[in-house]
Amino acid sequence: MNATPLPAARSSRPRLALVALTLAALASATLARADRFIVPTDSSSSSSPSPAPSSPSSGSSGSSSSGGGSYSGGSSSSGNYDSGGGGRFITPIPGGSYSSPGGNSGGGGFTGGGSGGYYGGHRGGYYYDPFWGGCYYWGGNYYYWGGHFYSSFHNRYSIYRDPSYYDYRSVPSANTQSPIFFPPSPPPLGAPVPPRPPAQTSITAPKDLASYLYEPFYAPLSTRITQADLTKKLLQRLDAFRTTRSRLQTELLARLDELKDVDPATRTSELNLLASRQAGDLSRLEAEADDLRGDLLHGGLVGLFSGSGDWNERRRWRLGEGTLALPREQLVSIEFRVIRAAAFYQEGLSPQQRRLLREVEMELQVAAFKPKDAAPANPDETLLFFSPETSRLVLPPDLPPDLSLKIETYEKDKSALKSELRDAIYTLDRVHASKRADALRTLASEQSPRFDTLEALADEIRAGFALLPNPPGPPTPPAFPAALSTRITAYQTEKTALQKILQASLDEVRKANGVDSFKLVKKDAPSVGPATFRFEVPKSENSDAVIAAARKAIETFNRDHEKRLADLGKEREAIRVEVARFATDSKAASGKSVETLLADFYAHLQQGERWQHYRYYQIATLQQGLSPQQRRLLFEVALERLNLSLPAGEYPP
């Protein structure tokens, strides 16, 4: 089922003041994309995002120009949000109140929508933003609340143009319910992880939740922690759960380290033995996790004063009923919310189905909120939802026919399970809770053997990946001689150090003049000589002063570091000569140009550190010999090592 295209919100593009600047030898126009130089937003830390935009006003020309060049919608801007309802797809939900323009949102506890959105007010008008603190990955970028997206290519946050909004219009009447937090969606294997999301005026997630990112009780536990309502017995059970899980994880990690240098066949055989030894403990651990999910919804002060904490407890609207008796494609944003909650709160589901619903949720989130007319930053990127559930891989190109057929079968079979489960949740949303649970138990029993078949097919696919010359994983660098590799690495290190110095100077200019952001765009240049950049700042009363200050900062930088820049330029040309010799004399070059070889090497350098964080993610998804339970156990470790930002909280409907 395809979601209805989102209507475009009206927006105006920011007027930019432009100036051409020359940065002596800092970037070469003759090198490939890996040698581009983009000034990030903040020098204090590479993880500092652009400041959150203020509420836009009608007729404003925009506040910033972003550097999200990999977003194909064009250079991004804050644009205008239509506070009068234009450009939004309105889906009314009975039983909820709505903040009319100029009114109070009644969100209960923070400025904005209790349904998880954010009401921003400006000059008496309100607009609704569905990005409640969650995040989704699509086409090479991460998308957040308020039209923010994170460009992994430029390593910075930006604002996408022409954002369109869905409006749930479902706001609690008062702060009488406990907030709920849902876990972050895992990124694809090897994807750049955003340093941290833009600032949010919302409910911050408890840090303790970071220990349970892949557990089925994450959301129910979040309410208990927020309300400080964990009984002594529940605390003891959680402690025992963590202790057992940690013991099994430590045992598995230690064995993986012991086997890292042995041949693949021996490693697989030894891991099979460990899987047999851990099977009983892991089965009991996962059963306890599912029991905790249910027990966290009953008893205590949460149950006595503010309900069970179940997202569905006070929901009076139902999919496809009453004012929601609309074509299903118009309810994608609401179905997303129901599916997301069902993974944690719906009775009658098996653990396998709960994990699979997380994937359905991730797919619906993109379908519901993907920016209108957005094209993927990486159009050739093909993602496979794999095993364990919610893990995703970028498929290598030119797969062998037999492996392609197995992957096609895997995707088809998994999609069938998803469709059946999604349709059941949608259809049964209108029946009594007990009948709904019974029907889902029947479906769980019917689907159970097919989950086992799917896992067996995943193992066959892993075996096929292992035979590929370039399996999913970090890029393979060109086979340069060791001395040349060391030389290129040193060059890149020096170049990065100089970039950071210039970046710090430009940040001082930006902050001193109250500019949210600006960017440098590399212009076409001759094959020799320094690169030329176009410097863009928002059009304002002091834009000329900003340009003058930036020009002075760059001139000072060039003067203060004249020798280092000259030496860097000489080293760049010397490296090009060596790489050209390698490309001519070595069979390992495979006919690639100097620019392509350098780009491949730079990509390897840039991604090497990132892939270190994905080590256990890669093992959990691709290592042969592990049981499905071990993969899930290891995947929890992998998600913790990625240090993912925890989505903000929201109030149930």
SS3 readout for 496-538: HHHHHHHHHHHHHHHHHCCCCCCEEEECCCCCCCEEEEEEEEE
Burial class of residue 233 (count of CB atoms within 10 Å of its CB; 0-12, 13-18, 19+)? exposed
Is residue 346 classed as helix, strand or coil in its secondary structure?
coil
Chain-centroid distance of CA 72 in Å reads: 18
Helix (H), strand (E), coil (C) string for 69-132:
CCCCCCCCECCCCCCCCCCEEECCCCCCECCCCCCCCCCCCCCCCCCCCEEEEECCEEEEECCC
Is residue 510, in this structure, part of any structural domain at all?
A: yes
Task: Please state, in angstroms and rounded to a whole number, the distance separating the CA atoms of residues 639 and 621.
Answer: 12
Amino acid identity at 584: T
Judge contact between 63 and 606, C-beta under 8 A.
no
Burial class of residue 453 (count of CB atoms within 10 Å of its CB; 0-12, 13-18, 19+)? exposed
Is residue 430, in this structure, part of any structural domain at all?
A: no
Q: The tokens of 630 are what?
A: 């071990």
pLDDT for 551 equals 85
Helix (H), strand (E), coil (C) string for 156-204:
EEEECCCCCEEECCCECCCCCCCCECCCCCCCCCCCCCCCCCCCCCCEC
Residue 234 burial (CB count, 10 A):
17
- Residue 380: DSSP 8-state: T
Is residue 606, in this structure, part of any structural domain at all?
A: yes
Burial class of residue 277 (count of CB atoms within 10 Å of its CB; 0-12, 13-18, 19+)? exposed
Q: What is the pLDDT of residues 491-550, one digit of tens each?
A: 888 888 888 898 888 888 877 877 665 665 555 544 444 556 666 676 777 778 888 888
What domain range is 573 assigned to? Answer: 482-613
Is residue 552, in this structure, part of any structural domain at all?
A: yes
Q: How many domains does the chain have?
A: 1
Q: Report yes or no on whether pTM surpasses 0.95.
A: no
- Residue 316: DSSP 8-state: -
Is residue 257, in this structure, part of any structural domain at all?
A: no
Is residue 255, in this structure, part of any structural domain at all?
A: no
Residues 6+ apart with CB under 8 A from 398: none
Task: Please state, in angstroms and rounded to a whole number, the distance separating the CA atoms of residues 617 and 387.
Answer: 11
Strand-pairing partners, residue 150, are 142, 157
From residue 112, how far is each of 56, 172, 312, 336, 567 by CA, in Å?
A: 16, 11, 20, 20, 55
φ/ψ of 397, rounded to 5, equals: -75, 165
Question: Which residues of the chain are modeled with pLDDT < 50?
Answer: 1-133, 162-175, 525-529
Is residue 453, in this structure, part of any structural domain at all?
A: no
- Residue 146: DSSP 8-state: G
Q: Which helix or strand (DSSP H or E) is residue 566 part of?
A: helix 562-585
Amino acid identity at 615: R
Q: The tokens of 592 are what?
A: 């690639």
- Looking only at the bridges linking them, the beta strands covering 165-167 and 88-90 are parallel
Q: What is the pLDDT of residues 84-100, one digit of tens each?
A: 333 333 333 333 333 33
Is residue 192, in this structure, part of any structural domain at all?
A: no
From residue 175, how far is each of 105, 136, 172, 496, 652 by CA, in Å?
A: 12, 28, 7, 49, 11
pLDDT for 496 equals 80
